[in-house]
Chains A and B, each alone.
Chain A
Amino acid sequence: MKGTEIIKNGLLKENPTFVQLLGMCPTLAVTTSLKNGLGMGLSATAVLIASNVIISLLRKLIPDKIRIAAYIVIIATAVTLIQMALNAYLPDLAESLGIFIPLIVVNCIILARAESFASKNPVGKSALDGLGMGLGFTGALCIISVIREFFGAGTIWGIELYGNVIKPASIVILAPGGFIVLGLIIGAINAIVGKVGEKK
């Protein structure tokens, strides 16, 4: 697989949020504004690249039986570093993402990539895979948060758009809006791509 293909794979074909349906908690919780969505996406991307690179480097040293525990420790270390960096350089973002920064540790996307890609592929490819998947996650978060911020707060990136004329529907940025907007987006993608949802 070529580099561009690996990135395209993460961005579109196997998009972690819309296709693989992984990492739903941050997807729903932080997409109340584009700033938060982008911040969470990029933080997760940084963790994903770091953990993929380290795990790929150590893939021949980590014994098979304790690999999951080893991966979790590596991921948690990367998350702790990002958390410190955010607290130091972007305290506003760190405050609004709050507990969801340490919770990147338990974002299934990162563990899934470690297990299914980084543990089997060389460093360069793993880094690209981390970048692709991370950007796919970031892109998905941005799409959801633009929709939610536009309808729920009447703003995009904090810029007032129509709030003076029509009152925005604040339920869209509250908890129910998160579930419903994501459900509608995935349903719409299924309809466009022609992928039929599981018969249930």
Chain B
Amino acid sequence: MIKEIISILIAALLTENFVMVKFYGICPFLGVSKKVETAVGMGMAVTFVMAIASMFTWLVNHFLLERFGLEYLQTIAFILIIAGLVQFVEMFVKKSLPALYNALGIYLPLITTNCAVLGVTLLNVQNGYGFIMSFLYGTFAALGFTLAIVLMAGIREFLDENSVVRSFRGFPIALITAGLMAVAFMGFSGFSI
């Protein structure tokens, strides 16, 4: 059990990193990675949503959808759960962390359409994880997302001070930076216990 948990942790953080290897959650990864502080805030908000969403969707899937043979409603049911959770997080952040709320801007409600969140809930079902494993996988995958976005923000803060060819400023150079980071993450492939 412990060995399995550690190997899932390594996979989610490094060898199968959600952003760098599996391409989930690219929009916030590129959109909110201009400053380290905002990136950390975004990572924490996403981690919270993904951990709770993993548990809620497991419960709904196990006790409602599977019991009544309604598995084909998974996508619709899961996205509604996620949308509800994000609404809740938004209200919480707005009230207790107004600075973070302003920094995240439009990307906070857009966590609903972060494919990492819906992706992890569907992967939990696909991999046949139980309640605890779903929760752990959701949390670990979100930590992998946080790791990638914080590293990216760190690099982009330095990128600001360099002169880049005009047509590559902004988005294109960010993508190429991400590509080079992905090469580094590929270096971990095969690492397991």
Contacts and interface: CB of A to CB of B under 8 A. Distances in A.
A69 B172 contact: no
Contacts of B30: 21, 24
Contact of A182 (B20, B80, B159, B175): B175
Interface string B162-189: 0011111111111110111011011000
Contact of A197 (B21, B72, B83, B167): B167
B76 A177 contact: no
B119 interface: yes
B186 A176 contact: yes
B96 interface: no
18 contacts: A21-B171, A69-B80, A73-B76, A76-B76, A103-B24, A103-B118, A106-B79, A106-B113, A106-B115, A107-B115, A171-B183, A176-B183, A176-B186, A178-B23, A178-B179, A190-B168, A196-B166, A199-B169
B179 A180 contact: yes
Given A105-B79, A106-B113, A25 B24 contact: yes
Interface stretch (A35-43, A52-60, A77-85): A77-85
Given A25-B24, A111-B113, A184 B80 contact: no
Contacts of B139: none
B23 A29 contact: yes
Contact of A190 (B114, B167, B178, B179): B167
Contact of B178 (A73, A179, A199): A179
Interface in A73-98: 73, 76-77, 79-80, 83-84
B175 A198 contact: no
Contact of A80 (B26, B75, B167): B75
A102 B118 contact: yes
Given A72-B80, A175-B21, A24 B166 contact: no
A25 B183 contact: no
B80 A179 contact: no
B66 interface: no
A187 B26 contact: no
B22 interface: yes
List the 7 shortest-distance A-B pairs measured between CB atoms, nearest first.
A183-B175, A179-B179, A197-B169, A180-B179, A187-B172, A191-B167, A190-B167
B147 interface: no
